């Protein structure tokens, strides 16, 4: 298990010449390798003192002040490890990348079972877990919706967690998704730069709206299946909740299998062939390794149900040949395939 530095108190002398500054900011500057979350835990636990007196985060300190602090112990997670197979794309002692399966929830909640990605990681990673936040847990840096498949990265150490989280926060990485959408956009590509907010009445949904957080999605139409559907490639520059689902809906092309955002079954596709989930896949993630600094190019192939859906769409979009029946001079029936298409 990876934790923040433990042991006896550590000291920090505020450099001479520094005027009034918040104590939490002073420690963050003095100890850049410690996460701000861990330092906040130290303040919250009453483990930061000045002259033997416990101080709060916003206490003002100046040059020459000497702070003493220590970190509270990391509490063991109350979740049990469950041996669930994982499709590992990349792994070393610092991090791993997994091709998440459809239907797998990333982090457990009140209504989830013991089949989340975290349960699986507790088994897979054993004692190599991030302790950021004060609870022993795998370092979930970002999330994918339950039905979304594809690349998700996990930190094994606190140092790796901080470095990866910083890349997501500063958008210093490349995130590409593929989606199957209803209908076919007239344009071949475009950019959706519209803020996303929580829906005012349906709290489980997001919507385009004023007062929301900035969100940008670049998209291109990769393939069209008649006028039934299209394969879209999307690059996102922000990570808002349901971002691609909301943005593509705003184009008038909701993702197949996503009734929450306006998709409806197409009558040209048999009931048995309708999508069973939201057809969205996190295909490609390019980032910097949190420790080595080398570029990591992570890719997850399209899952089987996605490929099957593409075959269904191609078949539904293929015109049928018209067979014309004629009678020849001998009065015998003759079938002539004119090769006409509808």
- The C-alpha torsion from 128 through 129 and 130 to 134, rounded to 10°, is -120
How high is the mean pLDDT of the chain? 85
pTM of the model: 0.72
- Whole-number Cα distances in Å, 193 to 215, 243, 281: 6, 11, 21
pLDDT (tens digit per residue) in 301-310: 999 999 999 9
User: What's the pLDDT at 340?
Assistant: 34
Q: Taking the CA of residue 153 as centre, how many other CA atoms within 13 Å lie in the half-sphere pointing to its CB?
A: 30
Q: Which residues of the chain have pLDDT under 70?
A: 1-8, 35, 73-78, 110-111, 127-138, 320-342
Strands 10-13 and 196-198: unpaired
Q: Hey, what are 193's tokens?
A: 């730069």
User: What's the pLDDT at 111?
Assistant: 67
To the nearest whole percent, how much of the chain has pLDDT over 90? 56
Full set of structural domains in the chain with CATH: 10-69 (3.10.290.10), 74-170 (3.30.2350.10), 173-313 (3.30.2350.10)
Residue pointed to by tokens 């996102």: 236
What one-character-per-residue DSSP string does 266-322 give? -TTS-GGGS-SS--EEEEEEEEE-TTT--EEEEE-PPPHHHHHHHHHHHHHHSPPEE
Q: Assess contact for 114 and 127: CB atoms under 8 A.
A: no
User: What's the pLDDT at 75?
Assistant: 54
pLDDT (tens digit per residue) in 196-237: 998 888 878 899 987 889 999 999 999 999 999 999 999 999
pLDDT (tens digit per residue) in 231-254: 999 999 998 999 999 999 999 999
Residues labelled as active-site residues: 145
User: What's the pLDDT at 327?
Assistant: 47
Q: Assess contact for 48 and 55: CB atoms under 8 A.
A: yes
Residue 228's nearest CA partner among 313, 309, 126, 321 is 313
* Helix, strand or coil, per DSSP, at residue 240: coil
Cα dihedral across residues 129, 131, 137, 139: positive or negative: negative
User: What's the pLDDT at 128?
Assistant: 65
H or E segment and range at residue 243? helix 243-250
User: What's the pLDDT at 77?
Assistant: 54
């Amino acid at each position: 298990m990876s934790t923040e530095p433990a042991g006896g108190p550590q000291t920090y002398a505020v450099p001479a010449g520094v005027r009034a500054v918040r104590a939490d900011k002073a420690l963050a500057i003095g100890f850049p390798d410690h996460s701000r979350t861990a330092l906040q835990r130290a303040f919250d636990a009453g483990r930061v003192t000045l002259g033997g007196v416990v101080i709060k985060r916003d206490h003002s300190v100046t040059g020459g002040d000497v702070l003493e602090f220590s970190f509270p112990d990391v509490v063991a997670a109350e979740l049990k490890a469950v041996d669930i197979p994982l499709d590992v794309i990349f792994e070393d002692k610092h991090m791993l990348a997994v091709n998440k399966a459809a239907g797998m929830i990333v982090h457990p909640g009140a209504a989830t079972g013991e089949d989340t990605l975290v349960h699986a990681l507790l088994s897979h990673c054993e004692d190599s877990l991030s302790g950021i936040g004060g609870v022993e847990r795998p370092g979930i840096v970002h999330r994918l919706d339950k039905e979304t498949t594809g690349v998700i990265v996990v930190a094994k150490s606190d140092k790796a967690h901080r470095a990866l989280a910083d890349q997501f926060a500063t958008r210093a990485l490349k995130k590409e998704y593929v989606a199957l959408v209803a209908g076919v956009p007239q344009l071949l590509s475009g950019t959706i730069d519209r803020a996303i907010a929580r829906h005012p009445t349906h709290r489980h949904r997001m919507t385009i709206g004023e007062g929301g957080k900035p969100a940008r999605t670049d998209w291109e139409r990769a393939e069209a299946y008649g006028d039934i559907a299209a394969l879209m490639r999307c690059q996102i520059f922000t990570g808002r909740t349901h971002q691609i689902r909301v943005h593509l809906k705003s184009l008038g092309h909701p993702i197949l299998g996503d009734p929450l955002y306006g998709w409806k079954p197409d009558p040209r596709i048999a009931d048995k062939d309708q999508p069973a989930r939201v057809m969205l896949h996190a295909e490609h993630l390019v980032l910097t390794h949190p420790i080595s600094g080398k570029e990591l190019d992570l890719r997850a192939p399209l899952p089987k149900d996605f490929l099957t859906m593409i075959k269904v769409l191609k078949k539904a979009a293929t015109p049928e040949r018209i067979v014309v029946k004629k009678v020849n001079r001998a009065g015998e029936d003759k079938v002539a395939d004119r090769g006409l298409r509808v």
